[in-house]
Structure 1
Amino acid sequence: MTEPAPTPKAIACADLRRAILLLEIAPGTPLDEAGLCTRYGMSRTPLREVMQQLAGEGYIAQRQNRGAQVSDMSHKTLRDFFLAAPMIYGAVLQLAATNATPQQLRDLKAAQRDFRAALAAEDVADRTLANDRFHRVTGEMADNLYLLPSFHRLLIDHARIGMTFFRAHSETRAETLSEAARQHDAMIAAIETRDPTAAATLAQAHWALSRDEIERFVMPQGLDAPLGTVPRTAAQ
């Protein structure tokens, strides 16, 4: 049997998720509902259902009487990202090692193959999407009602920041990406052997690996104030 064709709503959701993750639509950009209706051949009612779904997933924010906009990346959201990421990644990997199903392991290995292929091809968009998929599968493995919404929101900003991280122009950064791929392999092994302690340790190492690159994205060159602080001259 052939798969049924995707509905306009499904196409719109997938397109908008991808465009937001890849920064094709910038953070904070208002979304033109009339233009999206025309683009996807749907009326306002199904489009607003799409907007509600994307808002629930953390891709967009719906503002009263002002329409929807892409979720912002303000100083506060980035500061919160830095504070929450190591805790959330560690908890997700621990639960993944406890709860993963055989099919989810196959999905994770497939995402890792895609990630390595994108690294070899030096395709920034594919690297970002494959990495996002890899970590989303670990979230599916964790299967925690309270943890997943925060994890999914975290991954949106991690992917958007990753559009910078995955542009490996230097030899050092290319080696960092290779190490990230090796850590993915080690995570798969820890999950497969049901070792939550090793999985959590790997999550922390994986975060530490990418933290310096993320800070370069957040902090302009030459500005060395810790994230979340106010320079003395600005506070006076």
Structure 2
Amino acid sequence: MAKASAETQPVKETGAVRVYGILRDEILRMQLAPGTPLDEIGLAERFELSRSPIREALLRLSADGLVEILPNRSTVVTPMDFRRIPDFLDALDLLQRVTTRLAAVHRSNADLVAIRDAQKGYEKAIAASIKTGDSLGMIDKNYDFHLAIARAGRNVYFTDLYRRLLDEGRRMLHLHFEYEAMADELTVGKMAGPHSDIVDAIVARDADRAEEAAHQHAMQFRGRFMQFLNRNLTANVPLNIQSIAVEPTASESSEKARIGVPG
């Protein structure tokens, strides 16, 4: 039997790639909470690897903005500073408007193909996310869609800045999807509609409409995410009402003593 050519042989996954993929998914799903320490020795034992591929995976996660390597060489999952979220959302709105406007002006036919393909991929990922409850595929395809638009704008500086914001916003998008999934009316059309408006404006080379559609998309995300925060910041705080001791007032104690109720 003839040997398979190098082109048809599957690429073997390295230990570092496997660790990177698993930890990345756990961070984006919030299974590894912001601020969680990541110990190289513990991870090496978990994955049954030496520390070298673990360190390589952590460096790659650091480049993605998902972990922070501290001055003492320890590593933690990048914290989410909720005080800075309004600043993040302002920056996301501005760069989304700029990159989308530039795409409407400078896009080529090849860019349109890439943008439309990314939009179709996003719609399929939404359908899968609604079915399974797992938002990771949708998050990745949303990232691909917006970067395809940014590249069409032909400004590498805006593209790089926008990429950084999209990386930082992946966990927020996961939380946003979980909040949206609470609603019974969640559909592919509802989730993908803002993207379709953006694509239509870029196709028409209407820069003003493209910028406005991008702005409205950013404002929708901002509003829904802030609603999520207001509703859910205390949702996971356990309360055991029976264990909460309430001291009686002086009049209540006096009344108990008068009718012979134990204090």
TM-score if structure 2 supplies the norm length? 0.69
Partner of 2:251: none
User: CA 1:189–1:65 in 2, change beyond 3 Å: closer, same or farther?
Assistant: same
1:9 equivalent in alignment to 2:16:
yes
Partner of 1:189: 200
User: CA 1:73–1:93 in 2, change beyond 3 Å: closer, same or farther?
Assistant: same
Cα shift at 1:13: 3.0
Cα shift at 1:130: 2.7
Partner of 2:37: 30
Partner of 2:77: 70
Cα shift at 1:210: 1.8
Partner of 2:247: none
Identity across matched positions, percent: 28
Q: Which one-letter code corresponds to 1:92 in the other structure?
A: T
How many residue pairs are counted as aligned between the two chains? Answer: 221
User: CA 1:71–1:98 in 2, change beyond 3 Å: closer, same or farther?
Assistant: farther
Which of 1 and 2 has higher RCO (CA within 8 Å, sep 6+)? Answer: 1
Q: Pick the aligned partner of 1:206 from 207, 211, 217.
A: 217
SS of residue in 2 equivalent to 1:147: helix
SS of residue in 2 equivalent to 1:146: helix
Alignment deviations for residues 176-222 of structure 1 (CA, whole Å, 9 cap, x no partner): x6344122122223334444333222110111222221102233479
Distance of 2:34 and 2:161 partners within structure 1 = 18
Distance of 1:198 and 1:157 partners within structure 2 = 27
Distance of 2:18 and 2:103 partners within structure 1 = 29
Partner of 2:165: 154
Q: Pick the aligned partner of 2:118 from 92, 111, 114.
A: 111
Cα shift at 1:12: 3.0
Whether the 8 Å contact between 2:126 and 2:138 is mirrored in structure 1 is yes
User: CA 1:55–1:222 in 2, change beyond 3 Å: closer, same or farther?
Assistant: closer
Unmatched runs of 5 consecutive residues or more in structure 1: 224-236
1:170 equivalent in alignment to 2:183:
yes
Unmatched runs of 5 consecutive residues or more in structure 2: 1-6, 235-263
User: CA 1:215–1:45 in 2, change beyond 3 Å: closer, same or farther?
Assistant: same
User: Could you list the runs of 4 or more consecutive aligned residues of structure 1 that deviate by over 6 angstroms after TM superposition?
Assistant: none
User: CA 1:169–1:36 in 2, change beyond 3 Å: closer, same or farther?
Assistant: same
Cα shift at 1:99: 4.8
TM-score if structure 1 supplies the norm length? 0.75
Between 69-78 and 160-169, report the one with greater CA deviation.
Answer: 160-169
Alignment deviations for residues 43-95 of structure 1 (CA, whole Å, 9 cap, x no partner): 33343333233222212211111511111111233132122121111122223
SS of residue in 1 equivalent to 2:13: coil
Whether the 8 Å contact between 1:55 and 1:61 is mirrored in structure 2 is yes
- Within 5 Å, which residues of 2 pair with 1:87-106? 87-100=94-107, 104-106=111-113
